[in-house]
């Protein structure tokens, strides 16, 4: 078998394992997917019927790619392998057997998507004589899913349970199943029907599971029911990269599988991605987790490589421009922008780096997310501000007139708009006279009163951040997000608090009264959002660590590594959650191939206020017993310049220049063409004030 020749010893051992269960603990960059696909090819080459091999992964893309790779190795017979996601596998079972369940389903049932789900929930609420405007569809959908998947033991409110029961009844009456049902009904079929369970236990001779560390309780139960009899179950995963508890993944599944399946353990620790100093940093960190499967320590044949750089900035602004300067240096060394990633714990932390990249004309893209000023909650807040500044702004008024929900439907909004046009009024001014009655008219009047209350309150304010805080408070927007209780609410609230920081930091940059200063700031934000973004792939990646799991970059900046931010303050009191935070950090480190920068700031403006921050405990853990290059703003290796406007300086790359202005610890310097105006941290080792000795 030619395809086996390039496997290392541990990969070969895993691929050619005879019978019995195996847990291949495959560290980052160790060839996990390659090992799994070759295992399938090996089984087929040994004479096992491909139709009786079940391989499950988490994405349709991964399933397609795995099947194509196996076909390349052993031929078209590999197309007969059951290669599915968990949901797609469930669908195959239900298309054959769902009629056995006592719910009246036929085999030609319909699968509904998330948009359909929300429409149905709304219809159910109406059918129960409840007011749809009193319920967040997103929140109700989230609660239903949590209850179905056993992540919510009981409903907090009786109305939620009533809606849930109505929703389930609606689906069954209309022959609908949602995505949760594809897994749940499969579990129920196997659990309650011995004939069906025995058939599939005997049918599938080998079961293989990719990304096993991400399985939830129900998925594990399905695997157990199908494979526990013959125990020819081959799972691949890395418990140290189990970071999706908020989606339901169950870390305990890792140990349960080893115990309940009497599984052999094969460790893949030969990393093909990163240099050894990066891997040593990762190993030191993850060793502090007590609840982990021991024995895995990543190593590489790529040499020690560039030392991991640890940087302590005096403040967040300095940290930002340290990153900017280092990116410039990497670019000069031939590293393309697309091979550089700036990683952070949550989305709100992207803002300060976005602003700097925009100012410096460096292309970037938010991976798996939306740019800060384009996020819904930010656009909503700005729309509120614009309406408060000038109520005749119909465009912005329509955006927020029913946010939070006030019971102003599309029909009422259309009547208001038509009436305003006919009377030559703005929609805001037309509210009083629009010929609408009942609850809709009352809701419109309450909206008008809300805007007027903000306007009145703002007359007594002197600071930009106070103005924004007043808007968010009186509008009820933050209260709405708190009430949603979904997995994005915390991030969205953090984004709004970060917008407060933007307003706070803008104090002193603009002149005039409050209205004029706010308008100037909004103009600046509009320029940010309207800047042409690079349409090609030559862009720096900004991302949360969760979004880049499975990816790799030549250079990684892990920023804002500060206590209560990373690890999050919500995890500090729970050892299990703290260990998951450490695994998230581990995933971030192992994305780096050649260059890794880990930075934090001693002072950071958080939600409009400067706070003294401690370095993340993870920094101490990953530096323990490690010889490293430690870069800090207080390090003796860095020449401090203490620059002022008008000072003459010299730079090792840009030559002689003059300081045009200072903002905290960042100097704006005019250099001769072609370099022009540059922003550089004053403590940067490449920069020296003229007249200072070297």
- Residues serving a catalytic function are 32-33, 210-211, 241, 591
Give the C-alpha distances (Å, rounded to integers) separating 235 from 48, 63, 106, 155. 18, 15, 34, 35
Please answer whether residues 683 and 318 qualify as being in contact, where contact means their C-beta atoms are separated by less than 8 angstroms: yes
Q: Which of 351, 275, 365, 376 is nearest to 548 (CA)?
A: 365
Residues shown for the chain: 694
Q: Can you say how many angstroms the Cα of residue 525 is from the centroid of all Cα atoms in its chain?
A: 24
**CB-based contacts of 228: which residues, under 8 Å, 6+ apart?**
260, 261
Residue by residue, what is the 3-state secondary structure of 312-324?
Answer: EECCHHHHHHHHH
Distance CA 300, CA 274 (A): 7
State which H helix or E strand residue 117 sits in: helix 114-127
Give the C-alpha distances (Å, rounded to integers) separating 464 from 507, 515, 607. 6, 9, 13
Radius of gyration of the chain (CA): 29
Distance CA 83, CA 76 (A): 14
Q: Would you call 465 exposed, middle or buried from its count of C-beta atoms within 10 A (0-12, 13-18, 19+)?
A: buried
- 8-state DSSP, 5: T
Distance CA 351, CA 345 (A): 13
- 8-state DSSP, 564: B
Beta-ladder partners of 612:
603
Please answer whether residues 510 and 490 qualify as being in contact, where contact means their C-beta atoms are separated by less than 8 angstroms: no
Distance CA 631, CA 652 (A): 18
Torsion of CA 617, 619, 622, 624, to 10 degrees: -80
Please answer whether residues 231 and 54 qualify as being in contact, where contact means their C-beta atoms are separated by less than 8 angstroms: no
Instruction: Tell me how many helices (H) and strands (E) the chain has.
Output: 25, 24
Distance CA 593, CA 554 (A): 5
Give the C-alpha distances (Å, rounded to integers) separating 498 from 146, 201, 372, 378, 606. 29, 53, 10, 10, 7
Give the C-alpha distances (Å, rounded to integers) separating 633 from 18, 332, 598, 637. 56, 23, 13, 9
Distance CA 301, CA 299 (A): 7
355 phi and psi, to 5 degrees? -55, -45
Distance CA 177, CA 101 (A): 13
């Amino acid at each position: 078998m030619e395809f086996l020749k390039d496997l290392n010893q541990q990969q070969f051992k895993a691929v050619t394992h005879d019978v019995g269960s195996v847990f291949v603990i495959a560290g980052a960059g160790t060839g996990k997917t390659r090992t799994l696909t070759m295992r399938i090819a090996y089984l087929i080459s040994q004479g096992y019927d491909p139709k009786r091999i079940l391989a499950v992964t988490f994405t349709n893309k991964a399933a397609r790619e795995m099947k194509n790779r196996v076909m390349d190795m052993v031929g078209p017979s590999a197309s007969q392998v059951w290669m599915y996601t968990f949901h797609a596998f469930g669908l195959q079972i239900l298309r054959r057997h769902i009629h056995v369940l006592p719910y009246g389903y036929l085999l030609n049932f319909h699968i509904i998507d998330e948009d359909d789900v929300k429409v149905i929930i709304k219809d159910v609420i109406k059918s129960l004589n409840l007011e749809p405007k009193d319920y967040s569809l997103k929140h109700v959908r989230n609660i239903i899913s949590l209850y179905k998947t056993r992540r919510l033991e009981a409903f907090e409110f009786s109305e939620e349970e009533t809606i849930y029961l109505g929703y389930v009844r609606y689906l069954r009456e209309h022959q609908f199943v949602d995505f949760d049902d594809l897994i749940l009904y499969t579990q129920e079929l196997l659990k309650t029907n011995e004939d069906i369970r025995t058939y599939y236990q005997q049918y599938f001779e080998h079961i293989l599971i990719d990304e096993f560390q991400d399985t939830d309780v129900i998925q594990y139960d399905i695997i157990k029911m199908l494979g526990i009899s013959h125990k020819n179950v081959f799972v691949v995963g890395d418990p140290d990269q189990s970071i999706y508890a908020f989606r339901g993944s169950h870390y305990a599944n890792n140990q349960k599988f080893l115990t309940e399946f009497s599984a052999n353990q094969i460790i893949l620790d030969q990393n093909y991605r990163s240099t050894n100093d990066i891997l040593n940093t990762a190993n030191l960190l993850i060793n502090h987790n007590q609840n982990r499967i021991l024995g895995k320590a990543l190593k590489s044949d790529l040499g020690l490589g560039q030392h991991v750089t640890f940087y302590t900035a005096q403040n967040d602004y300095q940290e930002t421009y340290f990153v900017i300067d280092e990116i410039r240096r990497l670019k000069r060394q031939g590293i393309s922008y697309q091979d550089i990633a700036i990683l952070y714990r949550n989305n709100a932390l992207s803002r300060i780096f976005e602003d700097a990249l925009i100012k410096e004309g460096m292309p970037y893209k938010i991976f798996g997310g939306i740019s800060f000023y384009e996020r819904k909650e930010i656009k909503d807040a700005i729309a509120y501000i614009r309406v408060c500044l000038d109520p005749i702004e119909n465009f912005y008024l329509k955006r927020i007139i029913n946010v939070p929900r006030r019971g102003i439907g599309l029909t009422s909004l259309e009547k208001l708009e038509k009436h305003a046009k006919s009377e030559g009024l703005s929609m805001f001014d037309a509210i009083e006279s629009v010929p609408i009655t009942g609850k809709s008219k009352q809701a419109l009047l309450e909206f008008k009163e809300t805007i007027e209350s903000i306007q009145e309150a703002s007359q007594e304010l002197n600071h930009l951040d106070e103005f924004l805080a007043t808007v968010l408070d009186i509008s009820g927007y933050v209260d709405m997000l708190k009430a949603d209780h979904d997995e994005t609410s915390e991030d969205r609230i953090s984004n709004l608090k970060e917008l407060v920081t933007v307003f706070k930091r803008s104090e002193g940059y603009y002149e005039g009264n409050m209205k004029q200063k706010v308008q100037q700031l909004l103009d600046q934000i509009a320029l940010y959002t309207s800047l042409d973004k690079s349409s090609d792939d030559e862009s720096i990646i900004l991302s949360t660590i969760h979004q880049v799991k499975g990816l790799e970059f030549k250079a990684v900046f892990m920023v804002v590594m500060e206590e209560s931010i990373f690890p999050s303050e919500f995890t500090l009191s729970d050892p299990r959650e703290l260990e998951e935070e450490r695994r998230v950090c581990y995933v971030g480190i192992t994305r780096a191939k050649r260059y890794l920068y880990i930075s934090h700031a001693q002072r950071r403006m958080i939600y409009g206020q400067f706070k003294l921050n401690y370095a993340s405990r993870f920094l101490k853990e990953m530096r323990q017993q490690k010889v490293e290059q430690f870069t800090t703003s207080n390090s003796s290796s860095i020449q401090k310049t203490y620059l002022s406007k008008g000072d003459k300086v010299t730079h090792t790359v840009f030559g002689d220049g003059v300081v045009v202005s200072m903002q905290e610890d960042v100097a704006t310097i005019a250099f001769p063409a072609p370099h022009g105006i540059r922003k550089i941290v004053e403590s940067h080792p490449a920069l020296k004030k003229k007249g200072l000795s070297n």
